[in-house]
Amino acid sequence: MTAALTGEEWIEVIAPGALSCVQDLGRAGWRHLGVGQGGALDPRCARLANALVGNPAEAAVLELTLHGPTLRLRAPTRLALLGAPCELRFDGHPLPAARPLELPAGTVSIGGMRAGVRAWLAVAGGFAVDPVLGSSATDLRGSFGGLHGRALRAGDRLPLGPVRPPRRVDAPRVPGWWIDPDAGLDPHAPIRYVATAAPALAAAAQRFGDSGWRVDPASNRQGLRLGGEALDTPAAAGAGVSEPVAPGTIQLPADGQPIVLLADAQTVGGYPRLGRIIAADLPRLAQARPNAKLYFRACDEDEAREARRRMDADTARLRWAIADRLAGR
Amino acid sequence: MNDPAANPAGADRRPREGAAAVEFEALADDAWLLRLGERIDDALNARVHALAARVRAPAPPWLRDLVPAYASLAVFFDPAQTDAATVRDWLLQRCGDSDDIAAAGATRVVEIPVAYGGEFGPDLDEAASQLGLTAAQLVERHSGGDYRVAMIGFAPGFPYLSGLDPALALPRLASPRTQVAAGSVAIGGAQTGIYPRPGPGGWRLLGRTPLRLFDARREAPSLLQPGDRVRLRAIGADEFHALSDPARATPA
């Protein structure tokens, strides 16, 4: 990366979309002070979008929710959009997602998500916001990190990291290849969880997987609220001392409607825990639409571990394949 | 998803009196939860902090996060560097015979100035009359307590302080306030705590500290660390304003 630009380039936000915020792979090392992990709800997509534009995996990306933003590029830019299918236009012309796009100065607009809820936009050089507590992730509840600790607004300037001077780009360059991180996965397979070992909660944990759940529209990055036939909370488990929780933790409040904690999970919680969604299936919850029906299936630690190993291996393989393509091999 | 009001003082789920074993539970694919007990109890909490100190010094390269809570400790690891079974074995060794987990040695003592009553503590008079005390007596007994940061959670920098005089326990408000000022010192059930940021809250507000409990851009972002001892010092309105951080600018 010699002859780097000074990093004084930026992208202007014309329209912010429904909820667009800067995210990376999250923060570590601050949970003891009540600061959660945060970061992209699907870290695979953040990593792979970065790979498509030649960034390191931990570079900051934009996480888009339900409806994407309109952005003005002031200079030629390489970008990539990955995640839920949605309309992507450059100066009004439709362009495909899931591949590196080289664009001249102009306007990029990203529309509504057609299936799923979230997508990730990476730009060569990354979004150069100041890291807070070691990460560029926006902590929306704590109002720090990302761009001014909040979601994007019209008129914002998104600073870009230094990149090699781009080639001359007079018109969009669109490669003929793309990636699909979900290839081979069954989108209808139940989402897997490991049930808690607490005997008092065994019956509720079993029933969690026996019935279907509806995604409550009040869900957000902190938690996915589920609605359905209420689970019984055993009295013995109702008055627990607050214990640590994590992304994936399934909480059972007194109303019997479970909450699955996502990336913005708080660090401790007082509700009984039914168990946890396995890491390999959490990215699917990032795409759960309001009112969608979800099904869950209990699995054991071996299956959880094997699924994670496979997910990490698939992601690594895709990153190698992308690097080869970008190097022209 | 989690309000201090949703963290009731705990009842024992199982009789574990004197139980020495530490229970392990997989909290996540990349985290173990070590449960030392299921009660709010100073001795138990001291063992949690002592175990945390033992895990942290020296910290293994795979250690990503530690969350000491009332009676349990979460240990987050980097799955790219190690695996759950290896971490479990390592932690088991650190636990050793858990009777050895003595209370931590030197702890910091942090003094926190608190302006009680009036605009700073809108619930002080009502709380005092519920407890059968005068406002001055409640201030004296609350500020005279010997507190310990049992854990930090709910929000960045929110300390759950143990050591509240049991006679000062107060039920939470039937309906939480939509807006509590940053720095508010409050009682919820048998606990006392301090709100780091403005926001909703259901605890009884006795006073407010001018100190900033959490600032992500400060070198030490949190004023308090888990395990710290805390002394409260009653101050007047003049001192409150003199100590207020001019850069505080807390938008309501």
Is A248 close to B28, i.e. CB distance below 8 A?
yes
Asked if A96 contacts A178 with a C-beta cutoff of 8 angstroms, the reply is yes
Has residue A178 got a pLDDT over 50? yes
A200 in contact with chain B, both atoms CB, cutoff 8 A: yes
Identity of the residue in A31, A261, A279 whose CB atom sits nearest the CB atom of B1: A261
Nearest by Cα to B151 from B140, B162, B160, B142: B160
For A104-151, what is each residue's pLDDT tens digit?
999 999 999 999 999 999 999 999 999 999 999 999 989 999 999 999
d(CA A318, CA A310): 12
d(CA A267, CA A250): 14
Q: In chain B, what is the straight-line distance between the N-terminal and C-terminal CA atoms, in Å?
A: 21
Residue of B nearest to A236 (CA): B13
Q: What is the DSSP string of A26-73?
A: ---S-GGGT------SSHHHHHHHHHHTT--TTS-EEEEESB--EEEE
pLDDT attached to residue B4: 47
Asked if A194 contacts A275 with a C-beta cutoff of 8 angstroms, the reply is yes
A257 in contact with chain B, both atoms CB, cutoff 8 A: no
3-state helix, strand, coil in chain B (%, to 5): 25, 30, 45
Identity of the residue in B68, B71, B222 whose CB atom sits nearest the CB atom of A241: B71
Task: Give chain A's mean pLDDT.
Answer: 93
Has residue A92 got a pLDDT over 60? yes
pLDDT attached to residue B246: 64
Identity of the residue in A33, A279, A308 whose CB atom sits nearest the CB atom of B222: A33
Strands A273-277 and A293-294: unpaired
Task: Give chain B's mean pLDDT.
Answer: 87
For A203-218, what is each residue's pLDDT tens digit?
999 999 999 999 999 9
Contacts of A34 in chain B (CB under 8 A): 152-158, 214, 222
Give Rg (Cα) of chain B. 19
pLDDT attached to residue B12: 36
Has residue A7 got a pLDDT over 80? no
A301 in contact with chain B, both atoms CB, cutoff 8 A: yes
| Helical H segments across B63-134, by residue range | 84-95, 124-131
For A217-262, what is each residue's pLDDT tens digit?
999 999 999 999 999 887 655 557 899 999 999 999 989 999 999 9
Mean pLDDT of the region A283-293: 96
Q: What is the DSSP string of A141-175?
A: TTTBSTBTTB---TT-EEEB---PPPPP-SS-B--
pLDDT attached to residue A270: 86
pLDDT attached to residue A163: 86
Beta bridge partners of A181: none
Chain A from 30 to 59: CB within 8 A of any B CB: 30-35, 37
Chain A from 137 to 156: CB within 8 A of any B CB: 139, 141-145
Q: What is the DSSP string of B137-197?
A: HHHHHHHT--EEEEEE-SSTT-EEEE---GGG-BPPPSS-EEEE-TTEEEEEBTEEEE-SS
Å between A72 CA and nearest CA of chain B? 30
Where do we find the tokens 């392990």?
A: B24
pLDDT attached to residue B225: 95
Instruction: Place A1 in a pLDDT band, splitting at 50, 70 and 90.
Output: very low
pLDDT attached to residue A114: 93
Å between B195 CA and nearest CA of chain A? 12
pLDDT attached to residue B197: 92
Look up the ipTM and state it. 0.93
Nearest by Cα to A124 from A160, A83, A175, A178: A160
Q: Can you list the residues of chain B whose pLDDT is less than 50?
A: 1-19, 98, 249-252
A25 in contact with chain B, both atoms CB, cutoff 8 A: no
Contacts of B117 (CB under 8 A, 6+ apart): B124, B125, B135, B139, B206, B207
Contacts of A253 in chain B (CB under 8 A): 6
Has residue A166 got a pLDDT over 80? no
Contacts of B33 in chain A (CB under 8 A): 243-244
Contacts of B17 (CB under 8 A, 6+ apart): none
Instruction: Place A5 in a pLDDT band, splitting at 50, 70 and 90.
Output: very low
Residue of A nearest to B11 (CA): A239
Has residue A307 got a pLDDT over 60? yes
Compute how many other C-beta atoms are within 10 angstroms of the C-beta atom of residue A74: 13
For B68-95, what is each residue's pLDDT tens digit?
999 999 999 999 999 999 999 999 988 8
For B25-43, what is each residue's pLDDT tens digit?
999 999 999 999 988 888 9
Has residue A329 got a pLDDT over 70? no
More confident residue, A244 or A185: A244
Identity of the residue in B28, B38, B79 whose CB atom sits nearest the CB atom of A246: B28
